[in-house]
Structure 1
Amino acid sequence: MELNADLQEKKQFLIEGLKSTYKGQYDAIQPLPYIKDRLYCVDKVFVEGGVEVCLAPELTPGTRGSWERLESYKSMYTDFRFKSKRRIIQGEPGYGKSTLTLQLAYDWCNDVSDSPMNNVEILILLRLRQLGSVKSLYRAIKSFLLFHEPRVSKHVIEKIIDSCSSVHIILDGYDEYPGRDSNDNDDVHRIIKMELFADFEVSLTTRYLPECLRKETKRAKLIGFDDKARDEYIRKAVVGNNYEAVEEIKQQLYENSILADLCQVPLIFVMFAHMAQDQRDSMKFKSVTQFFKYMIRCFYDHLKQKFKDNRSNELYLHEMEHHKLDEIAFEGLNKEHQQLSWIKTRFRQRVGPELYDQYILIGILVEEDEVSDDSITTMVRFYHKLFCEWYAAHHLVTLVKNAHDLSDMLRFLDPFDLQYLFRFACGLDPNAGKKLINHLKGLPGGDTFAILCILEQTGDVNDIMASVKELCSRTVRIKGGDSALLQRSTTQLLDIASKNHIPISRVHLFLCSPRVDESGLNLILESGLSLSILSSLQKLQITDIRRLTNEELAAILSYSSQCTSLKELRFVGYHMPDTIPVGSIPSSLKSRNVKVWNGNYINGVYRRLNLQTGQWQACDNDGNLPGEEGLDEESYQESLANFNRARRK
């Protein structure tokens, strides 16, 4: 639609107004919330973590479909396999969903040539948690993005957008949207369901996947920082090309192996990296509770140095006394639908004006405006959900110590969603920790997580050795449908077992689609988590439903050969290559005569790989070849006949 001169001019005002708003947002990245005078442009600190896309959705509950890693976030918009008008970008809290949206806004504002936003006429980026009861997209744009532009009204915005051929809408934070999962026919839901602006491209970020979009919409997933991304961030945003300084920060992380999992979360790693640069002394932690306690102390210490007067004593008392903040945090999490933001006036009155102002000044709390009922309400939230879990854990400790039955009291607290709430509580108080650990052991899959909570409680690996040995004496399963917490807990415990030379009887990776990383030292699961070389692993079974290429098989064989105690490697469900080049079979597998076999039982036949020839041969139920224990010549000939008949079919 051709615009008249007046509307064309107002379109330019709209675009300039949007760019001005986005610049104010992407120029205010704050890696350390307590240092408010150290702000960065997003382009100076943005580092790409892992991104995967779903090429085929899950077929049955508990499975994860087919996912593939992308080289860049840009591929979400350029890869032909991911071509769609609707995209969902999933990621856990702190994994960089909002930072990614600001990078896209930066790209658009600055005409970045290789960005997928380069040819977009108008970019609309809305933070859904701010929308309150606003149901109209045009009103939301006016209220949040063009509030400073009087020359462009809500009705003018509607006319301009309707006339555009290229509009990209980014809806950030569906999981924090007040109207999420409701049946309201608001513009947000109409856009998502393609009832509104069906020709416009829409990206939705969220912590979880809305049920109504499980099949129809293309999905991507942010999986956090690996070693390469962490290195890049340190160089780009912390110390530049100072090689020695880079190595010093990396060494601090390696010395705190208990934090390796936590530092996969980009937000936490970013704070760790900047704190490691600021602190002259080495930071050593035996638990995430110790780390978080240290981090909060840094928040307060910075403010004390800023005041440099007798108020530092008051700050110390306030640092120790935060009961009201604890209560509010706990009440927000202990609900069927969690509350992560509160009306400022009520929150401030409850904790007290003086303490509230300090929490804002320190950076523990953040204020944000929300539009509701034609008025703007200032809301307050914790800097990150992990901070909410930290303070809630203090109140949980108080409740648990005085409670006899935890089941009813904890009915809304899902440890698989609030893992750090439980870990913090166990680390803060040994007596409350014992009760919580017993409670966790009674939950499905909770025994594995309980072991990590014991480690959190004591800070001493020796105290969990008996539990780790008992766990590793039986089959340890990691399933594709498991929560991230359960997978993380399991992989961490396997790593602890291996490093302490505890025999791991058998690991079964079920529908995890593992692949070997470039270093050849890690199996990367579909969830993005990794399984490092396990020197004490005795048997490994991998179950999946797909074709395995020669290259993929060779990489898994190479990884397995480095698990020096491995006796058996079994593949189940895979369509395996007919033959394997002998050169791709590691010599250590041959010298140890590791059983590598296809566990698919077809027409009475199992097949095992002959490591000397690269051929599959019929074997017995225990994987024995002719001449080995358990399979005589007559049985072998019968199995071979069955095998050949199966191949002909």
Structure 2
Amino acid sequence: MELNPDLQEKKIFLIEGLKRTYKGQYDAIQPLPYIKDRLYCVDKVFVEGGVEVCLAPELTPGTRGSWERLDSYKSIYTDFRFKSKRRIIQGEPGYGKSTLTLQLAYDWCNEVSDSPMNNVEILILLRLRQLGSVKSLYRAIKSFLLFHEPRVSKHDIEKIIHSCSSVHIILDGYDEYPGRDSNDNDDVHRIIKMELFTDFDVSLTTRYLPECLTEEKKRAKLTGFDDKARDEYIGKTVVGNNDEAVAEIKQRLYENSILADICQVPLIFVMFAHMAHDQRDFMKFKSVTQFFKHMIRCFYDHLKQKFKDNRSNKFYIHEMEHHELDKIAFEGLNKKNQQLSWIKTGFRQRVGPEPYDQYISIGILVEEDEVSNDSIGNNVSFTTMVRFYHKLFCEWYAAHHLVTLVKNAHDLSDMLRFLDPFDLQYLFRFACGLDPDAGKKLINHLKRLSGGDTFAILCILEQTGDVNDIMDSVKELCSRTANIKRGDSALLQRSTTQLLEIASKHNIPISCVDLDDCSPRVDESGLNLILQSGLSLCIMRSLQKLEIYDRNRRLTNKEVAAILSYSSQCTSLKELRFQLYDLPVTIPVGSIPSSLKSRNVKVWNRIDLVTNRRLNLQTGQWQASRDDEERQPTSYVTTSHYNQPAANRPTPDDAAQERTGSRKKCTVS
């Protein structure tokens, strides 16, 4: 549709206004919340973490569908297999969903040539948590993106947008949208369900998959920082082209191996990297609780240095006494639909004006304007909302209140009915680390949950900070096959990988690790096996047997060589088994490590229920084999929350039972 000269001019004002708003947002990235004067442009800090896409949806509950890793976030928009007008980008809190949207806005504003946003005529980026009761997209654009542009009205926006040949709408943070999962027929839900703007491209970021979405929508998932992404961030943002400084920060992370999991969360790793660089006497941490306590102390120390007067005593009081803040955080998490933001006036009154102002100054709390429910017509009013800088901070303070409740409670089941440890793992870990008595009660509670035993071991470590206290449990875990399955929750996969790393570092024999439909790949360093969930397994020198099961994946010679190289560094390995993989007919002899040959490691490939082949390490040829060792049964430790076999996996009733033996499943206690 061709615009008249007046609207054509307003279109220029609209685009310039959008770019002005986005520039104000992407130029204000703050890696350390307590250092307000250290702001970065998103292009200077953005680093690509893991991205994978769902090429086939889940067929049954508990299965994960078919997911594949992408090389870049740009492939979400350029890969022909992912072509769609509606895309969902999922990611856990702190995994960079909002930062990615700002990078896309930067690309659009600056006409970055290789960006998928380069040919987009108008980009609309809205933070859904701010919308309040606003049901109209045009009103939201005017209120939040063009509030400073009086020459463009809501009706002008509607006419201009419909005249454009290419419009991309990004709706950021559906999980924080006030109208999420409601039956309201607002514009947001109509857009998602393809009832509005069917010709426009729409991207939705969210922590979870909304109920209103159908399986036809294309889904991508951010899986966090691997070693490559962490190295890139350190070099790009923290120390520049200083290889020695990069190595020093990496060494500090390796020295704090208990933090490896939490530093997979990009937001937390960013804070860790800056703190490790700024502090020459950066300490070693024995638990995540200890690290978080140190981080909060750094927040307060920075503020105290600004005010070297009698206010420092008040800072100390509020640092140590925060009971009302604890209670608010706990109340927000302990409900069916979690509350992660509050109206400022009521929140400030509850915690007290002075403590509240400190929390804001330090960066623990963040203020943000939201359209008020009493807005009428074109008269838009705003309500200031307050939220924690990150959900982990909410869990930290909620854990303090949880400790108080647990110490005085006799039955925890009812009190914790809305606190899912598989969603709020750090709430439980923090509580166990903060108080030994409360920790004992929580650990006993966790052990009674399906799949909670492995997580309970980590909570014991959090409670004591001493690896020796969990050694018996780790040995029990490693005496049987540790099974990591695609359908397992992230919490269970993380718990298992961390415990395996502890076992390897303490030279505890690991009988067998079975990766069930996890589609592992070796990272560029060759030192980590990356699972499809984005989690990694370091080189396990005490591992004796590795099984990799995948029914649908085809491996190239390069991928097989990488897995063989990784396996050769597991110096106790005796057997490597590929289950139902489509492998190359011949493996180049030059890609078979000499250490596998010298140790005569057995490499098997089971191509169907009855046929096994063994790799001749000298020739690279697969040879049919019916070795008697194939008949030996294996005991299993499962980490599955659902305690179910993976989809399509052969059971003991299959014809292969005679060859493989029954698989006994049991949990660690």
| TM-score of the pair, normalised by structure 1 | 0.93
Select the residue among 524, 531, 554 that pairs with 2:561.
554
Q: Is the 8 A contact 2:519 2:553 kept in 1?
A: no
| CA drift at 1:107 | 1.2
Any gaps of 5 or more consecutive residues in structure 2?
376-380, 633-654, 660-669
Measure, in 2, the Cα distance between the counterparts of 1:359 and 1:479. 41
Q: Could you tell me how far 1:319 is from its partner in structure 2?
A: 0.6
- Partner Cα distance (2:151, 2:298) in 1: 45
* Distance in 2 of aligned mates of 1:157 and 1:565: 66
Q: Is the 8 A contact 1:424 1:456 kept in 2?
A: yes
Does residue 1:196 correspond to 2:191, yes or no?
no
What residue is the counterpart of 2:327 in the other structure?
327
Relative to structure 1, the CA distance from residue 17 to residue 524 in structure 2 (aligned partners, 3 Å threshold; closer, same or farther) is: same
Identify the residue that residue 589 of structure 1 maps to in structure 2. 596
Match of 2:605, SS? strand
1:34 positional shift: 1.0
SS at match of 1:202: strand
**In 1, distance between residues paired with 2:510 and 2:322?**
44
Matched, 1:107 2:113: no
Q: Deviations over 1:159-197 (max 9, x none)?
A: 111111111100000111111122221111111111111
Contact in 2 for aligned 1:132/1:370 (Cα 8 Å):
yes
Residue 351 and residue 69 in structure 1: after superposition, are their counterparts in 2 closer, same or farther (change >3 A)? same
Tell me what 2:646 maps to.
none
Q: Secondary structure at the match of 1:213?
A: coil
Contact kept? 2:611, 2:624, Cα under 8 Å: no
Corresponding position: 1:378 with 2:384: yes
Q: Is the 8 A contact 1:64 1:511 kept in 2?
A: no
Question: Do residues 542 (structure 1) and 548 (structure 2) align?
Answer: yes
Q: Deviations over 1:286-328 (max 9, x none)?
A: 1111111111111111111111110100110111110000000
Conserved 8 A contact 1:547-1:575: yes
User: Is the contact between residue 581 and residue 606 of structure 2 (CA under 8 Å) also seen in structure 1?
Assistant: no
Q: What does the per-residue CA deviation read over 1:210-238, in whole Å, with 9 as the maximum and x for residues that have no partner?
A: 24435211111111112222222222222
Q: Is the 8 A contact 2:132 2:371 kept in 1?
A: yes
Does the aligned pair in 1 maintain the 2:174–2:205 contact within 8 Å? yes
Aligned to 1:414: 420
State the alpha-carbon separation in 2 of the partners of residues 244 and 594 from structure 1: 37
Asked whether the 8 Å contact 1:607–1:623 carries over to 2, the reply is no
Amino acid paired to 1:554 = A
- Which residue number corresponds to residue 233 of structure 1? 233
Q: Structure 1 residue 466: deviation in Å?
A: 0.8
Which moved further from structure 2: 319-328 or 588-597? 588-597
How far the C-alpha of 1:488 sits from its partner, in A, is 0.9
Deviation at 1:111, TM superposition (A): 1.5
Q: What's the CA shift for 1:498? A: 0.9
- SS in structure 2 of the partner of residue 608 of structure 1: strand
SS where residue 368 of structure 1 aligns?
strand
Tell me by how many angstroms 1:93 deviates: 0.7
Cα deviation code 1:343-378 (max 9, x no counterpart): 111111111111111111111111111113313211
**What is the CA distance between 1:521 and its match in structure 2?**
2.2
1-structure distance, mates of 2:258, 2:392: 17
Counterpart of 1:526 (choices 520, 529, 532) is 532
Match for residue 170 of structure 2?
170
In the alignment, the residues of structure 1 paired with residue 184 and residue 293 of structure 2 have an alpha-carbon distance, to the nearest angstrom, of 42
CA-CA distance at 1:103 after TM superposition: 1.0
CA distance in 2, matches of 1:280, 1:569: 43
Structure 1 pair 48–576 and aligned structure 2 pair: CA distance change class (3 A): closer
Letter in 2 for 1:520: G
Contact 1:608 / 1:619 at 8 angstroms: preserved in 2? Answer: no
Contact 1:63–1:511 (CA under 8 A) maintained in structure 2: no
Name the CA distance, whole Å, in 2 between partners of 1:54 and 1:432. 41
Name the Cα RMSD after superposition.
1.9
1:570 to 568, 571, 577: 577
Gaps of 5+ in 1: 626-638, 644-649
- Within 2, Cα distance between the matches of 1:485 and 1:598? 30
Q: The residue matched to 1:240 in structure 2 has which SS?
A: coil
> Closer, same or farther in 2 for the Cα pair 1:255/1:198, shift >3 Å?
same
Q: What is the distance in 2 between the residues matched to 1:166 and 1:350? A: 48
Q: Which residues of 2 match residues 57-456 of structure 1 at below 5 A?
A: 57-213=57-213, 215-373=215-373, 374=375, 375-456=381-462
Paired residue type of 1:96: G
**Partner secondary structure for residue 417 of structure 1:** coil
Partner of 1:630: none
Instruction: Please say if residues 597 and 623 of structure 1, whose CA atoms lie closer than 8 Å, have aligned partners that are also in contact.
Output: no
1:99 and 1:451 mapped to 2: Cα distance?
34
- Cα distance in 1 between the residues matched to 2:587 and 2:297: 57
State the SS of the aligned residue for 1:623: helix
- Cα distance, 1:254–1:606 mapped onto 2, change above 3 Å: closer
Question: Secondary structure at the residue paired with 1:219?
Answer: strand
Shift of 1:560: 2.0
Q: Are residues 352 and 440 of structure 1, via their aligned partners in 2, closer, same or farther at CA, if it must alter by over 3 Å? A: same
CA distance in 2, matches of 1:294, 1:547: 44
Task: Indicate the residue corresponding to 2:19 in structure 1.
Answer: 19
TM-score (norm 2): 0.90
Distance in 1 separating the partners of 2:247 and 2:511: 37
SS of corresponding position for 1:119:
coil
State the number of aligned residues: 626
Distance (Å, rounded) in 1 between the aligned partners of 2:73 and 2:608: 41
CA-CA distance at 1:65 after TM superposition: 2.6
Counterpart of 2:519 in structure 1 is 513
C-alpha displacement at 1:573, in angstroms? 3.0
Alignment partners' CA distance in 1, 2:282 and 2:581: 48
SS at match of 2:629: coil
**Deviation string, structure 1 residues 94-125 (Cα, Å, up to 9, x no partner):** 11110111111111111222211111111100
Aligned 8 A contact 1:579 1:616 in 2? no
Q: Which amino acid aligns with 2:467?
A: V
Task: Give the AA of the match of 1:509.
Answer: L
2: CA distance, partners of 1:24 / 1:469 = 54
Change (3 A) 1:324 1:56: same
In 2, distance between residues paired with 1:246 and 1:590? 36
Q: 1:618 to 1:241 in 2, by over 3 A?
A: closer
Displacement of 1:615: 2.3
C-alpha separation between the residues in 1 aligned to 2:263 and 2:574? 33
Q: Hey, what does 1:616 align to over in structure 2?
A: 623
Q: Is the 8 A contact 2:406 2:412 kept in 1?
A: yes
Contact 2:580-2:608 at 8 Å conserved across structures: no
User: Residues 518 and 250 (structure 1 numbering): CA distance in 2 closer, same or farther, change over 3 Å?
Assistant: closer
Change (3 A) 1:621 1:198: farther
248 and 593 in structure 1: CA distance in 2 versus 1, 3 angstrom threshold: closer
2:527, 2:566 within 8 Å by CA — same for their partners in 1?
Answer: yes
